[in-house]
Each structure stands twice: as structure tokens, then as C-alpha cells.
């Protein structure tokens, strides 16, 4: 029976309400990751670096794919200091430039024959309007299209593993989002930075679900999971706040009310490592409106569960990136 059979993971494409095996999950529950190769985008800070630290400590060979190489090298030293297996490595990745995405995929492919887990973690939040090198609105370009392309380009390596996972980091804020497939780049609509952010998080949800369905349709051993971290105390909220004084105040409030970075990474770590994860799961905290709490199976918004919208976004993403996931088109 393949890892993608409906018997082993019932309910693909539907909301999961049944409990996880490790209700009060912590990194101590993670089984040994020795022999596994794990790629994490944005592993140089915040939730990505925390996930990389824990996975390296569990024995995984971790590759952090990052844009800022100076910051990434400092993070790599920190991750290396706790690694119990292979030495972590760095690949350059600018998700806002498809040529960089292709170069990164080629670099990773040169150094490993297979990838056990790809964690699509990097992202922008509520930034002023800007276009990527390829002319996409930056948040849909980085948060969705860059990761869509990277996943497709690394798919041969993912399918070379005996059983692989793609973990895509979304947000509990996707519940406030609407996605317009015909105006992803806000050429027709008025640009509001938070609207563009939540649209990109709906796109993350739809991509994870459609990847799960397509992998299952051709019976390949790939599991696609979406996660959200709750409201974790990282610097991702800074672009919303206009002045440094206000940012300090907001950071203090977040530190008191939100999950820590360590806790915020729990849903990603669960999705990447735990044996009871199912294809098309959506994992994250559910307490206090999803702000924090133990990792659980979560409900997704109606738009994020729309199969027609997911197919339309997939087709548009293939058109815009030129990455067609040929291995799933059998």
C-alpha cells in the first residue's frame, strides 16, 4: 500500500477534526531524523531557524535556502552547533526571482539524490506594494509562486525518497482572505497590503491541498501538508507598524500574548516528522482563536477548501512560473 492511499490517510481533501497522536507535542517527541535530508526556505531566522535547529539536533541533514547569505551564514553556525548528524548546509534562494529559484533547485540537486522533507517556510507579511523580478506582486510572488516553482523543480528529488513530505506554512489569517485567480497581482483591484498577504496565505492552502490530491491521483509516496504557527513572536509583524517606537510596543504586546518562536515552530515540526500526519492535513494551534496552544488538526476556510479554485490557481501558477510538475501529470 503506498503512502498516499486513502486507506492509510482517510479524508484527503476534507477537514480533519480527529486528534493527533501527540496531543501535547514538543520537540522531545520527534523520532530520529538520521539519514533524512530536509530543505527549509528562510531557515536563517524566526520559525525557519528554530525548525532547522531542532531537525538538525534530531539527526537530519538540513539545507537552509535563504536570500540573505550573510545572515544565513551566521544562522548556519548556530544550527551546526547543535547538529547531531550531517553538517547543515546553505543554498542561495531569492523566491522573488524565478531564475534564482531555478538555480537554487539545481544547486540542491547537485548535492543530494533525494529530499525527504521540503518546508516552504519563507515569506513576506503586509509589505508595501512592490513587484518581484518577474513582475509579480511581491507577496503572492514570494509566498506562493516562488514556493510553487521550487517545489516543482525539486519534485524529482522528493520522489526519489521512499516517502517524502512537503510542508507549506500558511497562516490562521487565511480565514480573512479572498483569492482572485485573474488578478493575483492587484492590477485591477486596489492594493491593500494586508489583503495581499491573506490572499497569499489562501494560495498556500490551496497549493498544499491540490498537491496532495495530485500526488494521490498518480499514487506517488508524497504527503503534502499545510500548517500555521499561530501568532508567534517573530519580526514578521514589523512591516505593519510604521515607526520603531510603535514596533517596540507591538513586540512587547506580542511577547505577552503570542506563542514563542519555539512554540510557533511546533506545527511545522509535527508536520515534518510525526508518523500520524495525513495527506492534506492542516495543522496548527486552535486555542484563543488559533493564536497558540498545542498542535491540532485545524479547520480551513471555505475558499481554502474550494477544489475548483485550487485547480484554477494551479493552472495559473504553471502558466506564470513555467513549472509544470510533469511527474504528476501521468
pLDDT tens by residue, 153-209: 999 999 999 999 999 999 999 999 999 999 999 999 999 999 999 999 999 999 999
Alpha carbon distance 59, 222 (integer Å): 21
pLDDT tens by residue, 101-115: 999 999 999 999 999
The pLDDT assigned to 288 comes to: 72
Alpha carbon distance 17, 33 (integer Å): 27
* Range from 69-73, 230-234, 251-255 carrying the lowest mean pLDDT: 251-255
CA separation, residue 175 to residues 23, 138, 264, 305 (Å): 24, 21, 18, 11
The pLDDT assigned to 17 comes to: 60
E strand segments, the chain: 37-41, 61-66, 89-92, 117-120, 164-169, 222-227, 282-284, 296-297
Please give the average per-residue pLDDT across 61-78, as a whole number: 96
Q: Are strands 282-284 and 296-297 parallel, antiparallel or unpaired?
A: antiparallel
Alpha carbon distance 94, 108 (integer Å): 14
The pLDDT assigned to 231 comes to: 79
In the chain, domain spans: 27-319
DSSP state of 3: T
62 φ, ψ (degrees, to nearest 5):
-100, 135
The pLDDT assigned to 9 comes to: 36
Is the pLDDT assigned to residue 316 strictly greater than 60?
yes
pLDDT tens by residue, 150-167: 999 999 999 999 999 999
Q: ∠ CA 164-168-172 to the nearest 5 degrees?
A: 145
The pLDDT assigned to 24 comes to: 93
Indicate the pLDDT class of residue 289, thresholds 50, 70 and 90: confident
The pLDDT assigned to 232 comes to: 56
Alpha carbon distance 270, 289 (integer Å): 20
270 is catalytic: no
Q: ∠ CA 208-311-157 to the nearest 5 degrees?
A: 45
Q: ∠ CA 296-302-308 to the nearest 5 degrees?
A: 120
Is the pLDDT assigned to residue 14 strictly greater than 80?
no
190 φ, ψ (degrees, to nearest 5):
-70, 135
CATH number of 27-319: 3.40.50.720
E strand segments, 49-93: 61-66, 89-92
The pLDDT assigned to 279 comes to: 98
For 59-95, b/e burial (b = at least 16 CB within 10 A) is bbbbbbbbbeeeebeebbeebeeebebbebbbbebbb
* Range from 11-25, 78-92, 259-273 carrying the lowest mean pLDDT: 11-25
The pLDDT assigned to 82 comes to: 97
Is the pLDDT assigned to residue 241 strictly greater than 60?
no
Alpha carbon distance 151, 117 (integer Å): 11
Average predicted confidence (pLDDT) for the chain: 89
Is the pLDDT assigned to residue 260 strictly greater than 90?
no
CA separation, residue 61 to residues 32, 34, 47, 87, 118 (Å): 12, 8, 18, 7, 12
- Picking from 264, 276, 237, the residue whose alpha carbon sits closest to that of residue 253 is 237
Is the pLDDT assigned to residue 137 strictly greater than 90?
yes
Catalytic pick among 129, 191, 197, 270: 197
The pLDDT assigned to 239 comes to: 52
User: Could you tell me if 202 and 319 are in contact, meaning their C-beta atoms sit under 8 angstroms apart?
Assistant: no
Is the pLDDT assigned to residue 233 strictly greater than 50?
no
- Reported as type and span, the H/E element at residue 54 is helix 46-57
pTM over 0.85, yes/no: yes
The pLDDT assigned to 1 comes to: 32
* Range from 70-79, 101-110, 237-246 carrying the lowest mean pLDDT: 237-246
Amino acid at each position: 500500500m503506498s503512502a498516499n492511499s486513502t486507506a492509510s490517510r482517510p479524508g484527503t481533501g476534507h477537514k480533519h477534526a480527529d486528534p493527533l497522536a501527540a496531543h501535547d507535542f514538543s520537540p522531545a517527541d520527534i523520532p530520529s531524523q538520521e539519514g533524512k535530508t530536509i530543505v527549509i526556505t528562510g531557515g536563517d531566522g524566526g520559525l525557519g531557524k528554530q525548525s532547522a535547529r531542532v531537525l538538525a539536533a534530531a539527526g537530519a541533514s538540513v539545507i537552509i535556502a535563504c536570500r540573505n547569505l550573510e545572515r544565513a551564514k551566521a544562522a548556519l553556525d548556530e544550527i551546526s552547533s547543535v547538529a547531531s548528524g550531517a553538517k547543515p548546509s546553505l543554498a542561495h534562494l531569492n523566491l522573488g526571482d524565478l531564475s534564482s529559484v531555478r538555480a537554487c533547485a539545481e544547486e540542491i540537486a547537485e548535492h543530494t539524490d533525494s529530499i525527504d522533507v521540503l518546508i516552504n517556510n519563507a515569506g513576506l507579511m503586509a509589505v508595501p506594494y512592490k513587484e518581484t523580478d518577474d513582475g509579480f506582486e511581491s507577496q503572492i510572488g514570494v509566498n506562493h509562486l516562488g514556493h510553487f516553482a521550487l517545489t516543482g523543480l525539486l519534485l524529482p528529488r522528493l520522489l526519489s525518497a521512499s516517502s517524502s513530505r512537503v510542508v507549506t506554512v500558511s497562516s490562521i489569517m487565511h480565514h480573512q482572505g479572498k483569492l482572485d485567480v485573474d488578478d493575483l497581482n492587484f492590477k485591477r483591484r486596489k492594493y491593500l497590503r494586508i489583503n495581499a498577504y491573506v490572499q497569499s496565505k489562501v494560495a498556500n492552502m490551496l497549493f498544499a491541498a491540490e498537491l496532495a490530491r495530485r500526488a494521490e491521483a498518480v499514487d506517488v509516496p508524497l504527503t503534502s501538508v499545510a500548517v500555521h504557527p499561530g501568532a508567534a513572536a517573530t519580526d514578521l509583524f514589523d512591516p505593519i507598524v510604521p515607526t520603531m517606537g510603535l514596533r517596540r510596543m507591538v513586540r512587547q504586546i506580542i511577547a505577552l500574548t503570542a506563542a514563542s518562536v519555539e512554540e510557533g515552530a511546533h506545527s511545522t515540526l509535527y508536520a515534518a516528522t510525526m508518523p500520524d500526519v495525513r495527506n492534506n492535513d492542516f495543522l496548527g494551534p486552535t486555542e484563543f482563536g488559533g493564536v497558540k496552544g498545542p498542535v491540532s488538526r485545524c479547520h480551513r476556510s471555505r475558499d481554502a477548501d474550494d477544489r475548483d479554485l485550487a485547480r484554477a490557481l494551479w493552472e495559473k501558477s504553471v502558466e506564470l512560473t513555467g513549472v509544470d510538475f510533469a511527474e504528476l501529470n501521468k
